[in-house]
Amino acid sequence: MTVSLLFGVHAHQPEGNFPAVLDEAHERCYRPFLRTVHGYPEFRFAAHFSGGLLDYLLDNYPADMALLKEMAARGQAEMFGSGDCEPVLAAIPHRDQIGQLEALSAKLERHFGARPQGAWLTERVWFSTAVSALAECGLRYATVDDYHFLCVGKTAAELDSHYTTEDDGRVLDIFPISEQLRYRLPFSPAADAVAYVEELARRGQSAAIYFDDIEKFGIWPETYAWVYEKRWLEQFIEGVLASPLIRTETYRSYHARRPTRGIVYLPSTSYIEMNEWTLPPAAAANYDEMVEREKRAGRYELTKPFIRGGFWKNFLTRYPESNWMHKRMLALSARLAAVPAAQQRPELTRHLYRAQANDAYWHGLFGGLYLPHLRRGVYRNLIALEAALDAAAPRAACARLDLDYDGAQEIFLCNTQLQAVARDDGLGALHEFDGYALAHNFADTLRRSREHYYAKIERGTQPVPGTGGIASAHDRVTFRHQIAAEDIVPDALPRVLFCDRYIAPERKVHAVSGYALDAADVTHPAIVFRAGISGGTVRKVYELAGARLNVTYAFEGFSGGTFATELNVSMPACDGYAGRYILASGDIPCGFGQELTQDALTTITLDDRELGGALVLTASSTVALRAAPHFTVSQSEAGFEKIMQAATVTLSWPLAPGSSVLTLTLELMVAPGA
């Protein structure tokens, strides 16, 4: 008896990723993979390329894409569909699920001659609510982890073919991806991997089901040399084709000739690692301890279906920054859906779909939310969409609502050039500050939070790879940067704009966290906060005037001391060479990645050539300035790394006894670098 090897690879690069990264990924992975498999016409496989990556490769590497087209035409390669911009389907409205799925299916039909029947689910996140959209779009089957099936009582022996599920009467078949194959390919020696597939044939299994990231074949650490220079992929393919126990087959062919194993209903879940990543640190530690205890007791294979962990939407509760982006996206999706059909334009839908790309909304082994350029990709599209919608149907200049469902209202202040969003949470700070001409959110940063994997940093341990193969990125503990203990201390407050503190004459520091919303006058739009502190009161007013944000502080009843406000400013250049501070004299003391101290100034410019603009900060009276880069620590497949999130600029000024007024003006300038 033979076993059908259903071999699939998923290729994706995040929205907002740098072209140089895409080029390197192609050189080290996509090109050598396609050229290798092209040389073995009898080796059948499935491939999913996310829409944005596919567009890039078609435009920039047409010769390599011609190989993929040829393989598809001769029946060697089956193209899988999905949401065009790689959204987690469960995180977007049904109307957008349909739109995203149709967009990629149409693209595949246009370039490869056929609409897909199979669907790749982003991060293999399963929510039954996606079944209807998949079925409506003509997709007949999808792949998820075998773990999903184990959670409902299926045994490993039963997971060698597809099952059928339904939602609201709409039907979809689902294939269980083998965890054992995911961990063997390509990390174990090729001969061992082939022998494992042959053993499945001897057990009488119908299919060996594999579908995983193609980036494991060349981009993950050590894999380029292992897969191509040491010929792992060629050896594996040749071993498979030479085996009398293995036949290669596309999912489409297998699905057409094999009946379903029956009905199944799966829980909302993803792959095992993702379920741990979604948990808060304390819960993740408990989860990890339970898993290790079960492994030591030899029970893990029996109990792992019942040690569930969290699920993908937990990321929206773990990270307020992610939840805010997500709710901004949902609100703009609703606004776009309300536009009459005659006024709909393709570019507006493209902005929305790109803002739904999954990568910037979550974090696990990979950077995701921690990578500023990925969040910037989301905001760039949200802001561009919002500007276009406002041009067609202007909003009120000031509005209040609880957009992110956290129990605190947000106040939106906008004009045609800027938008400022404050939250009525006691801080009196700005949580979003958008420049429409630049399509940039200057408050897009990330606070330091405790992560479960920080325990590995504190231990500094390095597992030893198993003999004969290479270590998976899931098993590596490496350090790209030197990390100190203070680098992983969580922030007490969010990283926002205009977060205030008062230093009393005796040097006691008071965080100003008692701001109450005073007024929001729609006839003269402004956001007004008032707080009492240390016997005095401070009134804080935000107003927009063209391309300027005016922030006015008025103080009464203070007996001296110093007032300070902190701005965590997101600048695209981060600590790169393209971002620098410019003094009123024209001098450039340093870049955003260095510390800067100025005892007295009234104007400073944050110039960013990558952004193509500048943020000019002007004070109505002399202030002291201290600026320093804000870093967070995260893990990636390459190791633990420090990532600059913002330039933290702290302004301070003395308070004379009695009362004083200080006005700060932020001016946006779309101007070339000096």
Residues with catalytic roles: 123, 213
Give me the amino acid identity at 381: N
Sequence-ordered list of residues with C-beta below 8 angstroms from that of 294, at least 6 positions apart, any chain: 300, 303, 304, 307
Among 556, 581, 578, smallest CA distance to 567 is for 581
The two beta strands, 3-11 and 658-669, are unpaired
Rounded CA gap, 28 and 33, in Å? 9
Backbone angles phi, psi at 638, to 5 degrees: -95, -5
Q: CA triplet 278, 280, 283: central angle to 5 degrees? A: 105
Give the three-state DSSP class for 248: strand
CB-facing half-sphere around the CA of 264: CA atoms within 13 A = 26
Among 218, 219, 243, smallest CA distance to 230 is for 218
Give me the residue label for tokens 């707080």.
531
Rounded CA gap, 497 and 43, in Å? 56
Backbone angles phi, psi at 410, to 5 degrees: -105, 145
Cα separation of the two ends of the chain:
72
* The token pair that represents 624 in the structure block: 């002291």
Q: Check residue 91 and give left, alpha or beta (phi > 0: left; psi -120 to 50: alpha).
A: alpha
* The token pair that represents 441 in the structure block: 């959110």
* H helix runs in 491-533, sequence order: none
Backbone angles phi, psi at 469, to 5 degrees: -135, -155
* The token pair that represents 30 in the structure block: 């996509």
* The token pair that represents 436 in the structure block: 């429409």
Burial class (CB in 10 A: 0-12, 13-18, 19+), 537: middle
The two beta strands, 118-120 and 141-145, are parallel
Rounded CA gap, 563 and 283, in Å? 39
> Do 99 and 108 form a contact (C-beta atoms < 8 A)?
no
* H helix runs in 159-246, sequence order: 179-184, 190-202, 223-224, 232-242
The CB density around residue 179, as the number of other CB atoms within 10 Å, is 17
Sequence-ordered list of residues with C-beta below 8 angstroms from that of 133, at least 6 positions apart, any chain: 89, 94, 97, 98, 101
Q: Check residue 654 and give left, alpha or beta (phi > 0: left; psi -120 to 50: alpha).
A: beta
What's the full length of the chain, in residues?
A: 674
Torsion, Cα 576 581 586 587, to 10 degrees, reads: -80
The 10 Å CB-count burial string (b at 16+, else e) for 2-39 is ebbbbbbbbbbbbbbbeeeebeebbebbbbbbbebbbe
* The token pair that represents 522 in the structure block: 């729609």
Rounded CA gap, 164 and 180, in Å? 23
